[in-house]
A and B are shown apart, each in its own frame.
Chain A
């Protein structure tokens, strides 16, 4: 639909939209703060000048909401890009980062910590660390299981991931049913639907570093994704070793998904819907789709999280419900509108 627009203009427009969304979204909540005040407070912190706004408002902006909104930016970008990478790896537009079983592994890690240490202890670094470890171990197992005679086969990757995911899902349900701690049950349920409520500056920082450090080389190497979707023979013929490329992508997907899930739970739909949205709007070339995907993912999560905080304020909804409620109608609208392009199987 918009494939003809020059990429730098598209990216600049999306980046401005993300920045504006961050400022507006930080102002939203039980205490509403005008965007201009938010901007002044943020500017003061970034430049090291004294904040020209009231100390309570400044605390809400800088300590409570900014880390959360920025975490949303990086989680959204990370999950959307991870989804795009998985779709290229398995050459199928219905791929999703969770298809490799990573979120189920993370859930087991998180549930183990929450049910054994209790809900409060898990809020610290242990919860995210256990979730990341669960995702990483699952990823490693799927990787080993999908290797046949030195080749990584996409179909085996999906089957191994889905099968392990089911097994680990069973483990999670078992642990959840066994615990008598209803607080822990509540927290696990919330975690499984995804939430940015646990955001802190340090977690946000880790997530930002992982996402940015991976995105830069991925953007350079995006043409390899184009070759990968041509199939193994096509990729080989055009100078890219498909198995090595898939192995590197697997590591990137594991790190992006593991990190995102560790800090925010399993937020659904973003990894599936945003890459398809990006392709429908801007075409199949990954050199365009990849950066677009990162920025669209950030936008979707920032606004879903804002809605999660506002819809039932003062109580919060899990963000997974909102990404479904916002992301899916937008996606279906674009799907219907773009009657010319095919979805690209």
Chain B
């Protein structure tokens, strides 16, 4: 099941100047890579090339043996589970229906889900804590509840790699930690764009910094999150300390020149 994800020299944009230029990353099988970077640095754009929403102008995306842009589109959707930003709810699906859509790439010719699909969806709803509101329409859910439904949908794809774009958006502290813990505990390869450097440092085993469309640093959290990187690319000052309770790296930020 586990596969290495390789982003190899990807250049991509929306016509005109590329939003991401010559980006290369590797996520080890079962690894968790956090993609961090300031607003507009190209995180979401790069992630879009993984789920076939945006074709790279140059470069390759390879999962295990498969080039993600040459395998059939449905096969890509079985390999790559996605929680994207600014997702639309559609015409008011219930949470259960929305998660069942995650089974789409697995359905047969007639597009009717079977008992096996139902079981996968139930499990995904349970793991994300959505069972209690599974039959409510998305329009009646809070932002955080919807975000968890989207995570459940990505899990229902039963992917080999999970692509998460700001998975902690709208979530309360408990669910922020629970979501990242869940993503890490699945044992599948995870590539997540995160805004919180502190969460990235705690949950990711590797961090890559994207700035103005280029990968400017990549490696273990302690190696990447240096004061120089914070100042140059994030325009903040800060320090990385060790959590006295968990022993994990934590990031404290301050204003520059404070």
Contacts and interface: CB of A to CB of B under 8 A. Distances in A.
Interface string A221-242: 1111011011111101111110
A180 interface: no
B53 A232 contact: yes
A258 B15 CA distance: 36
B87 A284 contact: no
Contacts of A241: 52, 73
Contact of B48 (A226, A233, A238, A287): A233
Contacts, number: 101
A223 B111 contact: yes
A310 B173 CA distance: 66
Contact of A233 (B15, B51, B92, B105): B51
B91 A344 contact: yes
Contacts of B87: 230-231, 233-234
B107 interface: yes
Contact of A230 (B90, B105, B111, B157): B90
B77 interface: yes
Interface string A199-235: 0000000000000000000001111101101111110
Nearest to A232: B53
Contact of B104 (A220, A231, A240, A344): A240
A239 B101 CA distance: 11
Contacts of B140: 342
Nearest to A226: B101
Interface string B34-65: 00000000000000100111000000000000
Contact of B92 (A222, A239, A344): A344
A230 B76 contact: no
B51 A285 contact: no
Given A285-B97, A287-B112, A238 B102 contact: yes
Contacts of A283: 93-94, 97
A91 B91 CA distance: 8
Given A238-B157, A284-B93, A341-B137, A222 B104 contact: no
Contacts of A287: 111-112
Interface in A325-345: 341-344
Contacts of A344: 89-92, 139
Nearest to B92: A344
Given A223-B104, A342-B137, A237 B111 contact: no
Contacts of A227: 101, 104
A65 interface: no
Contacts of B17: none
Contacts of B112: 287
B166 to A, nearest CB: 13
A68 interface: no
Contacts of B92: 279, 284, 341-344
Interface string A83-98: 0000100010100000
B211 to A, nearest CB: 24
In this complex, the interface size class of chain A, counting residues with CB under 8 Å from chain B, is: 20 to 34
A178 interface: no
A233 B97 contact: no
Nearest to B98: A230
B80 interface: yes
B73 A237 contact: no
B78 A237 contact: no
Contacts of B107: 223
Contact of A239 (B78, B86, B94, B110): B78
B82 interface: yes
Nearest to B165: A233
Interface in A132-162: 149
Given A220-B109, A233-B48, A344-B139, A239 B73 contact: yes
Given A220-B110, A237-B51, A238-B104, A226 B137 contact: no
A87 B14 CA distance: 27
Contact of B53 (A87, A93, A220, A237): A237
Interface string A164-193: 000000000000000000000000000000
Nearest to A279: B91
B84 interface: yes
Nearest to B111: A223
A240 B75 CA distance: 11
Tell which of A149, A226, A239 has the most Cβ of chain B within 10 Å.
A239
Contacts of B89: 230, 344
B185 interface: no
B227 interface: no
Contacts of B97: 226, 283-285
B49 to A, nearest CB: 11
Nearest to A285: B97
B232 interface: no
B88 interface: yes
A223 B106 CA distance: 12
8 contacts: A223-B111, A226-B93, A230-B89, A233-B86, A237-B77, A239-B74, A279-B92, A344-B139
Given A223-B101, A233-B87, A240-B104, 16 more contacts: A91-B90, A220-B110, A226-B97, A226-B104, A229-B90, A230-B87, A231-B86, A231-B88, A233-B53, A238-B77, A238-B102, A239-B76, A239-B77, A283-B97, A342-B92, A344-B139
